[in-house]
Amino acid sequence: MPVLTATQYVVLFALASGMQCGPDLRTALLAAGGSNRSYPAFHQLTARLERDGYVRRRPLSTDRRVWFALTREGRKALQTTREFYVSRSL
Here the contacts of 44-50 (C-beta below 8 Å, separation 24 or greater) are 45/7, 45/8, 45/11, 46/11, 46/22, 48/8, 49/8, 49/11, 49/12, 49/74
Tens of pLDDT, residue by residue, the chain (90 residues): 788 998 899 999 999 999 999 989 988 888 877 666 688 888 899 999 999 999 999 887 788 888 999 999 999 999 999 999 888 876
pTM: 0.86
Q: Compute CA 41 distance to the chain's CA centroid, rounded to the nearest angstrom.
A: 13
